[in-house]
Amino acid sequence: MKHTILFLLTISLFFGSCKNQRNEELGSQKPNILFLLADDLGYGELGSYGQKIINTPVLDSLAANGMRFTDFYAGNAVCSPSRAVLMTGKHSGVNTIRGNSGYFNDDRWMRVALKKDEITIGEILQEIGYQTAFFGKWHLDDPNDLSTWACNRGFDYAIQEQWASRYGGLKFTIGMEYVNAMVDSVYYDKEKWNCHDEFRTNITFDYLDKIDKDKPFFLFMSYRAPHAHERYISNKDLYAENGWPEKERMHAAKITLLDKQIGRMLKKLDEMGELNNTLVLFTSDNGPHNEGGHNHDFFNSNGDLQGYKRDLYEGGIRVPLIAYWKGKIKPGTVTNHIGGFQDIMATLAEVAGVETPHQSNGISILPVLTGKSQPMHDYLNWEIQLDGYRSASQKGYFRQSSRLNNWKAIRYGINSETELYNLNEDISESNNIASEHPEMVNKFNRLFEESRTENDHFPYGGIKKEEKSAFDK
């Protein structure tokens, strides 16, 4: 760990001031892009975002030498729909995927894949000559349709884990990493590696050793930590001296070990001579989990925010975003620009010098990264369906929220009262002021209904169409 810290402190000495350049001034050589995605990491689980106990020196140093966003949002409050927003640039109200499972006509709830005509970030960059690679959790496919896997959605090389289909079809092996969807692939040996992410990082290094140095690359690292299902931490000594419950020690260890793997990745790119021309983005797919015996309050994982994974309060959707780009991003910058996962596609498209697909409703954040005037969203909104795996009821677990400047509205169920908060004065969303601002509540209610499209797999309000009229009575 000390070597990692020294590495980042060393390279920070050479950081130049921001050149305030727009895309046309970034130079003829297209930059590499390294996208780092944590799984269920809370807004307050990094030292740079207020964490006092868990050690994250690499990411804290990256934030100190880059830009830290205070008001950035995941695409949704749980993994599949959040990643769908990220990959397509379409916010959750119009996205194909709005929950971890969707309703099908035979009364089953199964995973929903991205549509074949929806362009992914990988496909955009692949088309213009980027070497594209994906490592880790994809979660945007139909397990039984290999054409929906990462290797067939814009990534030249993809290693992803897979879960067994709930209703037959292809069978998958726990611990197997599927290389370009090939079943005869590689296993994760939990006795050999400190964590799953260490194993994947080593495989990534093998890939990087073989890339064409004359072409830019887009490397998407979809980590597993600190998700509750990541149980294989063989380092029994990390944080052992604190006397915490084992589930909490494991949670902290997963985050610190993730931080270590990111340090290894940055060091590798530096040794390759690629780091100086690489845009690095780090974020999380949603807020912290409260599963598997872990209590998200133990480490104050959300700081002052209310809620956690699956909630559309701030704690479920506000996430860290750290950006580093040598010579382009001014070190030590903190921004309160309000943005979200739908903006990543537009940003990377502008960075690479290509048009953003019309499907996207995101706004490029390249201007704020490079110190220019930044366009703003009129509003951000979220819609999530938690039926299926979690509930047999068709009438519950449908949630919506929206942010308009510093106003935030939320309702859990289309027939529930809309709550209203002023985030400038109440970041914890503890004082519902809806009764004091009926005109603002009405505005948000219109947004909830109008800023969305119909989706058969995720029916409005969590109610199947044939049941809605009876339910309304």
Among 168-182, 248-262, 428-442, 448-462, name the one with the lowest average pLDDT: 168-182
Q: What was the pLDDT predicted at 187? A: 82
Q: Could you tell me the strand order of the sheet in which 419-422 lies?
A: 380-385, 398-404, 407-412, 419-422
Q: Which CATH architecture has domain 380-472?
A: 2-Layer Sandwich (3.30)
Domains of the chain: which residue ranges? 30-369, 380-472
Contact 26, 328 (CB under 8 A): yes
Does the pLDDT at position 186 exceed 90?
Answer: no
Q: What was the pLDDT predicted at 3? A: 43
Nearest residue to 384 (alpha-carbon basis) of 118, 153, 158, 99: 99
Phi, psi of 67 (to 5 degrees): -125, 140
Which of 5-9, 372-376, 413-417 is most confident? 372-376
Return the bridge partners of 220, or none.
Answer: 35, 134
Does the pLDDT at position 83 exceed 50?
Answer: yes
> What is each CA distance from 471 to 81, 305, 452, 462, in whole angstroms?
26, 34, 21, 11
- At 232-241, the pLDDT tens digits run 676 778 999 9
Q: What was the pLDDT predicted at 176? A: 83
> What is each CA distance from 361 to 81, 125, 198, 218, 324, in whole angstroms?
16, 18, 35, 22, 24
3-state secondary structure of 34: strand
Under the banding of pLDDT at 50, 70 and 90, the label for residue 464 is low
Phi, psi of 286 (to 5 degrees): -170, -175
Q: What was the pLDDT predicted at 54? A: 98
Checking 457-461 for CB contacts under 8 A at 24+ apart, the result is 457/96, 457/98, 457/102, 457/103, 457/104, 457/112, 458/98, 458/99, 458/102, 458/103, 458/112, 458/383, 458/385, 459/103, 459/385, 459/394, 460/398, 460/414, 461/395, 461/398, 461/413, 461/414, 461/415
Does the pLDDT at position 469 exceed 80?
Answer: no
Run of H or E residues at 420? strand 419-422
**0.95 exceeded by pTM:** no
Among 174-183, 199-208, 274-283, 397-406, name the one with the lowest average pLDDT: 174-183
What CATH number should be reported for the domain whose range is 30-369? 3.40.720.10
**Mean of per-residue pLDDT scores for the chain:** 89
Q: What was the pLDDT predicted at 392? A: 45
